Structure 1
Amino acid sequence: MPVAARHPGLEDVAARYRAPLLRFFRRRLEPGEDADDLVQDVFSRLAGQDLAAIAHIQGYVFQVAANVLRDRARRASVRSIMTAVPDGFDIVDEASFSPERILQSREMLQILIAALYELPEMVRIVFSHYHFDGVAQVEIARRMGVSLSTVEKHMARANTHLLQRLRKER
């Protein structure tokens, strides 16, 4: 079944807003970053919406675009935190994994897992969906029947708790 048949109006919205969305993203991205992927993400999020029922489609489209940028920045932020090298780790030769480094990594992983289980269930579920399943925060909010703000607060709470536990254990 064609996309337009499944999602009335999506093809028209895509034709009308593709170029403006590309400009929107290119103004906000570093040179060389791919704005086309973000535009595609916007349209994939819009695909699940009843676009005919939205009174101010332009505002809605650009709010979705802003959310895509925000989600991308959050993922990049968490990625940088999760890939940060703990004190005492030597990154000169990443290929040499000594038994001591492997043990330290396993201990840090166990600390993170324990810290995850210290979180309230809803916070842990939100964190897990986002980081382990790759589900966008907007989609998590929809699936769980909560607001996007609630999902964002749960993510912030989880991130803060995990960082505190890692700092405490170092």
Structure 2
Amino acid sequence: MSAVAGHPRLEELAAHYRAPLLRFFRRRVSPGEDADDLVQDVFSRLAAQDLAKIANIQGYVFQVASNVLRDRARRASVRGIVSRVPDGFDVEDEAAFSPERILQSREAVQMMISALYELPETVRMVFSHYHFDGVAQVEIARRMGLSLSTVEKHMAKANSHLLYRLRKVR
């Protein structure tokens, strides 16, 4: 079923912006990558929005398209990091997953969670949306009614605090 089914305004936008979005994505992705899937992702995200409240719909559509590309690149980079196994690392090596290492990892995670809860709620929410939910900073600003500059400052504050806490325990 199409992402536009049942949304008259979205159907109108799809008819108007599908071809420009295809061109937008084809200029920015490698040949063989499916630009149609990226366009569909844009309309899926738009379906979750109240389109009547958006003043500059063209700008918004292409901002969503940019976010789709950014999120795709972020997922690809994470997959690349996860798929690379360091030289000499043996997945079957029991020392890598020893009870001591597991306990150390759990303690590190608990320390990071505690450090996150030391932050003001707004800062913590900005950090969580960005790092855990994969929401772009522009979208976080829009959702939370903050300026992009404020979101960036909250991210810097959270990152600085977490790095400080990480260094403190080492």
TM-score range, shorter chain: 0.5 to 0.7
Contact 1:119 1:158 in 2 (8 A): yes
Q: Report percent identity of matched pairs.
A: 74
Structure 1: distance between partners of 2:124 and 2:150: 13
Structure 2: distance between partners of 1:72 and 1:157: 26
Structure 1: distance between partners of 2:160 and 2:116: 11
Partner of 2:162: 162
Poorly superposed stretches of 4+, deviation over 6 Å: 2-5
* Residue identity opposite 1:22 in structure 2: L
Contact 2:3 2:43 in 1 (8 A): no
Contact 2:67 2:136 in 1 (8 A): no
Deviations along 1:38-77, whole A, 9 cap, x unmatched?
A: 32332233232335964x5433321221233344455666
TM-score w.r.t. length of structure 1? 0.65
CA shift, 1:119, in A, is: 1.8
Partner of 2:15: 15
1:64 and 2:61 aligned: no
Q: Number of matched residues?
A: 162
1:116 and 2:116 aligned: yes
CA shift, 1:21, in A, is: 1.5
TM-score w.r.t. length of structure 2? 0.65
Query: Which one of 88, 92, 95 corresponds to residue 89 of structure 2?
Result: 92
Give the direction of change, closer, same or farther, for the CA distance of 1:136–1:59 in structure 2 (3 Å limit): closer
The RMSD of aligned alpha carbons is 3.9
- SS of match in other structure, 2:27: helix
Give the direction of change, closer, same or farther, for the CA distance of 1:130–1:67 in structure 2 (3 Å limit): same
